[in-house]
Amino acid sequence: MSLSVAHRRLRNQRIAGSTFDTPGEVVSWLGTVQAQDYLGALWAVGLRMRSAAEGDVERALAERTIVRTWPMRGTLHFVAAADVRWMLELMTPRVVAASAARLQRDYELDDAVFARGRDVLVNALQGGRQLTRNAIYETLESARISASGQRGLHIVWRLAQEGLLCFGAREGKQPTFVLLDEWVPDARLLERDEALAELARRYFTGHGPATAQDFAWWSGLAATDAKAGLEMAKLHLIDEVIDGKTYWFSSSTPMANDASPHACLLPAYDEYTVAYKDRGAVLDPVHAKRPDSGSGIFHPTMILDGQVVGTWKRALEKRSVAITLRPFDPLKKTGRNAFAKAARRYGEFLGLSAAVRL
């Protein structure tokens, strides 16, 4: 039965049979795309498009169609520009409150320091200015706010979750920071109940089939808020009991028999593996215990017919990308051919030829 869940997610997340042409469509459909591994996150978006190059996703960030910030679980994500404000308002207060004592104890960062940092960075960034991380730290230091020992990172992290900052366009290979209100001034706000319902609808539509526990884990909301969001979103969802668990999804979610065998190379932290509390539908518990599996999250994963069957890594060369496959079990010829095709697609995304190594 778990194959039924995996097949539907594979299609529903648009990893197989994509209908999307733009990065904004992908991110909006999923709600958020985890983006702590920046280059991997670009591929997470691109692999869900019918055709994409890495530059297309970076261009969407530079053109402010999608935004990179910390909207949930204290972790970096891509968010559709129109959604960033209401998502921050809904999901970050719990993270900020939970981290306050630790930040004061370990880094001597309290509300007074954050207030000073806010004033300094508003003055430094207003008028559309963009500053790299190091320039942000230097700006804080010049105002006698120490940025050493990760203090600078935690100040930026906190102020981004409060809705002051977000990432701007890259300067070379360096990320920059901007004022969120200037970068995406038209980002909408929602009333709390409307936001809870919209977040739940978006999650179960883009990630289903999934359980209520999966949604609570993914969103980082309190259990009562996650439950309330699901209750309000049920008008747009249907449920099915599979292996004794209740799964929720949109009526448009393809049935399992609509899926065909499909091989793909997912980045680390991909929504297909990371967005569920219970990952047993896509990762055999036996493999999850392997030291080289990364629990299906921390390493780029090989997916075959909806299941995690190994990990992979890349090495960039002058005109090609070398992809080393590390299957948990030996691949059959059909599997090797399928992953060779998946590797070529990844190479095309990078604008390079791909060489596969086993």
- For residues 219 and 18, the answer to whether their CB atoms sit within 8 Å is no
Question: Does residue 172 share a domain with residue 84?
Answer: yes
Summarize pLDDT for 239-272 with one digit per residue, the tens: 999 999 999 999 876 665 544 568 999 999 999 9
Question: Does residue 250 share a domain with residue 284?
Answer: no
Question: Which has the higher per-residue pLDDT, 339 or 294?
Answer: 339
Instruction: Note whether residue 45 is domain-resident.
Output: no
Backbone φ and ψ for 186, nearest 5 degrees, come out as -95, 10
**What is the mean pLDDT of the segment spanning 149-171?**
97
Q: Which element (helix H / strand E) includes 32? A: strand 32-34
Among 231, 256, 281, give the residue marking a domain's end: 256
**What is the mean pLDDT of the segment spanning 136-148?**
98
Instruction: Note whether residue 42 is domain-resident.
Output: no
> Is the per-residue pLDDT at 338 higher than 80?
yes
Question: Does residue 280 share a domain with residue 247?
Answer: no
Question: Does residue 176 share a domain with residue 222?
Answer: no
**Per-residue pLDDT, 294:** 62
Q: What are 355's two structure tokens?
A: 């060489």
Question: Does residue 183 share a domain with residue 81?
Answer: yes
Instruction: Note whether residue 105 is domain-resident.
Output: yes
Q: Domain holding 84: CATH number?
A: 1.10.10.10
Question: Does residue 278 share a domain with residue 202?
Answer: no
**Per-residue pLDDT, 287:** 82
Q: Which residues contact 63 (CB under 8 A, 6 or more apart)?
A: none
Among 256, 277, 311, give the residue marking a domain's end: 256
* Average pLDDT for the chain: 94
Segments forming the whole domain that contains residue 156: 68-187
- For residues 356 and 320, the answer to whether their CB atoms sit within 8 Å is no
Q: Which residues contact 195 (CB under 8 A, 6 or more apart)?
A: 86, 87, 89, 90
- pLDDT band at residue 351 using 50, 70 and 90 as cut-offs: very high
Among 187, 212, 227, give the residue marking a domain's end: 187
**Per-residue pLDDT, 256:** 52
Question: Does residue 274 share a domain with residue 166?
Answer: no
Question: Does residue 72 share a domain with residue 180?
Answer: yes
Instruction: Note whether residue 317 is domain-resident.
Output: yes
Q: What are 215's two structure tokens?
A: 């949604």
Q: Which residues contact 274 (CB under 8 A, 6 or more apart)?
A: 34, 297
Summarize pLDDT for 290-314 with one digit per residue, the tens: 666 666 678 999 999 999 999 999 9
Question: Does residue 163 share a domain with residue 265?
Answer: no
**Per-residue pLDDT, 258:** 47
- pLDDT band at residue 3 using 50, 70 and 90 as cut-offs: low
Instruction: Note whether residue 5 is domain-resident.
Output: no
Q: Which residues contact 172 (CB under 8 A, 6 or more apart)?
A: none
Number of structural domains the chain divides into: 3
Distance of CA 312 to the CA centre of its chain: 19
